[in-house]
Structure 1
Amino acid sequence: MKKLAIIGMPMDLGQARRGVDMGPSAIRYAGVNERLKRLFDEVHDKGDIAVGRPEVEVDPVSNLRNLHLIAEKTEMLAKEVNQAIEEGAFPLVFGGDHSIAIGTIAGVAKHYENLGVIWYDAHGDLNTAETSPTGNIHGMPLAVSLGMGHPLLTNVGGYAPKIKPENIVIIGARSLDEGERELIKKIGIKVYTMHEIDRLGMTKVMEETIEYLKEKTDGVHLSLDLDGLDPHDAPGVGTPVIGGISYRESHLAMEMLAEAGLITSAEFVEVNPILDDKNKTATVAVALMGSLFGEKLL
């Protein structure tokens, strides 16, 4: 019995550009429920976490944008994700900006001894208050999940750290801040930049990723930021970086993950319909979900 739990997280508090809070609606409008009902025995759309329209606040001590609100809202998401897993469902979260991953991973990781994470993204999201050029928390969720950052964030879910550096693979990186580069080298995170994807090809990258994570993890979370794709294919994102992964390469990556049976939870984030072209980015997200969950042409 294959059960899917869809959880919307319409949160734009982790960065400064409005519109990404409409991401879950855009993904649903692109027909995600109908598509996934063909691939699961049961699909339960649990609606959206109530985020509301809070005023922007900047923490005077840490200079982090919306610190307390993000801690509060990601705690709510963690509880929903945890409940979905306890009910035997695969949790699929729609964002929202990438700060939501703090809550998703907090809800998932308690169910695994060694949770693996595939971070499919143009960015490392490994900043802390000390290294961040902006104070935007959507550039910090991977660091937070490793137990690095403000305690209000690292302790979401009531425990820290959630994951280990050797259980992470970043795919598609092409925009890393200086502090992130140093941290990657220091703690030994496996990264496939666009250079490696171009040089090795996506097939080899995914074969190596699957092999790397398969032996030492008991579950793998996919955190897919649509800005991992090239802006030509996914224009509706808050921080587009040219020279990204193609639509076809991304389908291949998702198909290979489906074949490997590796992924145990997932989130698709940073869909911003305000910046999009005819809901193209949400449509791409839904198509990639189809591939991730085993949709086949023949």
Structure 2
Amino acid sequence: MAVPVRLLSAAWDSGVPGARMGAGPTALLRAGAADRLRARGSRVTEVVLGPSSDWQAELRTAFELQRAVARSAAAAHAGGELPLLLSGDCHLTLGMVAALQARGARVGLLWLDAHGDLNTPDVDPGAYLDGQGLAMVLGRCWRAATGTVPGSAPLPEEQVVLVGARDLDPPELAALDGSALRWLRPEQARDPAAVDDALAALAPRVDVVHLHVDLDVYDPSIAPANGYAAPDGLSAADVLRIARRAAAAAPLGSATLASYDPSFDPAGRLRDTALELLEVVAGLAG
């Protein structure tokens, strides 16, 4: 029987609704994301998330959205639903991980991304909050703010695999050199043996896995996911294979699809690739 799904959407990018990558969740919904899940037999509850206050500013809004994601994902788990998040911002995955942590689970995280998202405020001259998303999950920055997210605690680095990252700032490379997380470069992510080795090391440490897919992990030859797309990305088949192998190694507890800017994909090629992935992920959790 297909697992019931709570399809969360957070159509925000850097504190701004509906622009750039904030347009992605709405575009995926309009393209039939929920209907495709229903067609495969899932009962789908759609939840549109927003900040809790009328006044928006990037920092305030970011952490309000993380809290909203965590609460809604936790409600999904409590109701026997699979939470799937369509997000403009990558850092909202912190709320998805927190909802699993709130259950007392040892959470594994597969973070598929063209970038490391390991910057911190003291090394990021662009002050781009979403480039700090994985660093937040690991407790490397913004701990007072992320500590307000229900269930959130810094995720042990041994429980994280960064997949497909290839466009990293020097401070991110330095952070990786001193980190216990595992990094599969694109050529390794394309190698089933290397993926299986990483998952075999991860599986004994975790009870459940969250799959995070920044759509710019895909090669831009499909279509650029956003203005930060980088060459030497993964194919659609690569990402599907990684998702399937991850679900075979440990139970899949939730997933995020993030950072899709439909203005870079006029033919809808990457949109359709993302929708296929969403369907497959829902099936893997069933």
State if a TM-score over 0.5 links the two structures.
Answer: yes
Shift in alpha-carbon separation, 1:33–1:261, aligned structure 2, 3 A: farther
Counterpart among 96, 113, 117 of residue 88 in structure 2? 96
Q: Deviations over 1:219-262 (max 9, x none)?
A: 11011000001111142323101111112212222333344463
**One-letter identity of the residue aligned with 1:23:** G
- Partner SS state of residue 13, structure 2: coil
- Partner SS state of residue 294, structure 1: helix
Structure 1 residue 35 corresponds to structure 2 residue 27: no
Structure 1 residue 7 corresponds to structure 2 residue 8: yes
Whole-Å separation in 2 of the counterparts to 1:158 and 1:255: 29
Partner residue, 2:167: 175
Whole-Å separation in 1 of the counterparts to 2:39 and 2:203: 27
Partner residue, 1:44: 45
Judge conservation of contact 1:14–1:138 (CA < 8 Å) in 2.
no
Whole-Å separation in 1 of the counterparts to 2:275 and 2:67: 26
Partner residue, 1:62: none
**One-letter identity of the residue aligned with 1:73:** L
How far has the Cα of 1:127 moved from its partner? 1.1
Q: Deviations over 1:126-185 (max 9, x none)?
A: 111012231111111111111121234331315653411000001101011222222222
Q: Deviations over 1:193-242 (max 9, x none)?
A: 12423xxx432233123312221101110110000011111423231011
Partner residue, 1:75: 67
**Residue range with higher mean Cα deviation, 109-118 or 225-234:** 109-118
Q: CA RMSD in A?
A: 2.6
Aligned residues, how many? 283
- Partner SS state of residue 140, structure 1: helix
The gaps in structure 1 that reach 5 residues or longer are 58-65
Whole-Å separation in 2 of the counterparts to 1:161 and 1:52: 22
**One-letter identity of the residue aligned with 2:33:** V
Counterpart among 218, 239, 245 of residue 250 in structure 1? 239
Shift in alpha-carbon separation, 1:112–1:282, aligned structure 2, 3 A: farther
**Residue range with higher mean Cα deviation, 96-105 or 242-251:** 96-105
Partner residue, 1:26: 27
Partner residue, 1:232: 221
Whole-Å separation in 2 of the counterparts to 1:14 and 1:186: 31
> How high is the sequence identity, in percent, across the aligned residues?
25
1:91-130 correspondence runs (5 A): 91-130=83-122
Partner residue, 2:146: 154
Partner residue, 2:210: 221
Judge conservation of contact 1:14–1:97 (CA < 8 Å) in 2.
no
How far has the Cα of 1:271 moved from its partner? 0.9
TM-score by length of 2: 0.89
- Partner SS state of residue 191, structure 1: strand
**One-letter identity of the residue aligned with 2:91:** S
Whole-Å separation in 1 of the counterparts to 2:15 and 2:248: 34
- Partner SS state of residue 148, structure 1: coil
Judge conservation of contact 2:97–2:152 (CA < 8 Å) in 1.
no
